[in-house]
Each structure stands twice: as structure tokens, then as C-alpha cells.
Amino acid sequence: MIGVFDSGIGGHSVLRALRAQLPDEPFAYFADTEHAPYGERDEAFVAQRSLAITRKFIEEDGANLVVVACNTATAAAIHLLREAYPQIPFVGVEPPLRPAVAVTRTRQVGVMATRGTLASAKFRALHESLAASGVRFILQPCDGLALAIETNDAARVRELCERYVGAVQAQGDVDTLVLGCTHYALVDDVLQAAAGDGVRLVEPGVPVARRVAALLA
């Protein structure tokens, strides 16, 4: 059994990619909706919740692989999970900056993410590792967007998507937009409408699914 968790419904975008890649595998999904979104909580709290959920997956449900389907939880806790359960493979999520570098033509990429993800050491290391690529990353914290998606507030989602996409596009000729939170992929149609047809959206679900498939193989 493969355990998948996020602070709420956002990880369903990753689960969707996992099921497409691995249709015969059994999955269990845990949405920590009571504490959503993780991106607006401190690292210690996110780490504590991640450990508690992982403990349930492994010790009660018998999971033999765990997917941390949340950028914030990956940055805050995946190293702790690996230390606590060294016999279990863990796959985390990170903003897909590398795939974006491969597809951008203008060499200007917008990155939409929670403030917690953008402030993390893990993201900073990823960002710095791509300095030699020549791509300019425009980082946009999206306060409130994950919560609006979580609560299914369609009007608020549209308002925030238009505001944050507009803020990114005002800073450069962006042709690629990285969705740095798993929640955002659930409203990709709204984001695409705000960005326009000429902008490519890049989400993290497919790379995660490929990594899980490789580990199982």
C-alpha cells in the first residue's frame, strides 16, 4: 500500500497522476483538512503533523512507500521522516523548476507557491542550483489561495488567481508558470484563463508519479 498525504485536498492532484501512472497499485490518501493549509503554518507544526500521519500509515495501515504530496511538508519534514523510518522509501514534492527550465522559450518563469515553500531552505537550494541555467525565476507568494481552493470559494479563487498571475506577468515576459503548491493544480483551468493560452503551466504530479514507478520497479 502506498500512503499519500497533504494538508487537505491539494494532494489529489498528485494522487491523480499516481493513479494514471500506476492504475493497479493500492493507495491510501490522508487529507489533514483540520490543519490546512500547511503553507501558512510554522515548520515545527508541519513536521509534527507529518510524523503523526506517517506513523499511522506505516504502523497501522502497513504502507511500504509514502508520498509527501505537499511542498511545505516536504521541505519541513521529509528528512525527519526518512530518519524515523529508514526502511521506507519516501517521495516528496518540490516546485517543478527543472521541468520549467526545459520548456521555457523566453527564459523567464513565474513560480507561484505558498510563502512557507518559498522561504524554505530546500526551495532556496533548488533555486540556487539552477543559477547557471540562465533562466530568471519570478517568485510569487500566493497568500490565501490554497485556503480558498480548500474551502471551494470559487469567487475568491478566481480573484486571487488573477491577482497573482497578473503580479507575475507585470514583472517580465513569462511564458511558463510553475505551480509550486499541489492545491493550485486543482484550479489549473482558472490559472490558465488568467495567464492566457500562450503560457504553459507546469505542475509537480507527473514527476512524482514517475519517481514512485521507478522505485516500485
My answer on whether 189 and 117 are in the same domain is yes
My answer on whether 115 and 196 are in the same domain is yes
My answer on whether 144 and 197 are in the same domain is yes
Marked catalytic residue, from 70, 111, 145, 160: 70
Given this model, what pLDDT does residue 72 score?
Answer: 87
Active site (annotated) includes residue 142: no
Rounded to whole angstroms, the Cα distance separating 142 from 196 reads 19
My answer on whether 87 and 135 are in the same domain is no
Given this model, what pLDDT does residue 202 score?
Answer: 96
Provide the residue range defining the domain that includes 127: 97-204
My answer on whether 84 and 104 are in the same domain is no
| CATH code for position 196 | 3.40.50.1860
Per-residue pLDDT of the chain (217 residues; tens, 9 = 90+): 999 999 889 899 999 999 999 999 999 999 998 987 887 788 899 999 999 999 999 999 999 999 999 988 998 899 999 999 999 999 999 999 999 999 999 999 999 998 888 988 889 999 999 999 999 999 999 999 999 998 999 999 999 999 999 999 999 999 999 999 989 999 999 999 999 999 999 998 989 999 999 999 8
My answer on whether 65 and 163 are in the same domain is no
The count of domains in the chain is 2
Question: Which residues face 39 on adjacent strands?
Answer: none
My answer on whether 87 and 107 are in the same domain is no
Marked catalytic residue, from 77, 149, 181, 195: 181
My answer on whether 78 and 168 are in the same domain is no
My answer on whether 48 and 139 are in the same domain is no
pLDDT of 155-182, one tens digit each?
Answer: 999 999 999 999 999 999 999 999 999 8
Given this model, what pLDDT does residue 37 score?
Answer: 82
By the 10 Å C-beta count (0-12 exposed, 13-18 middle, 19+ buried), 80 is classed as middle
My answer on whether 33 and 105 are in the same domain is no
Given this model, what pLDDT does residue 53 score?
Answer: 97
Active site (annotated) includes residue 161: no
My answer on whether 56 and 78 are in the same domain is yes
My answer on whether 68 and 10 are in the same domain is yes
Given this model, what pLDDT does residue 132 score?
Answer: 96
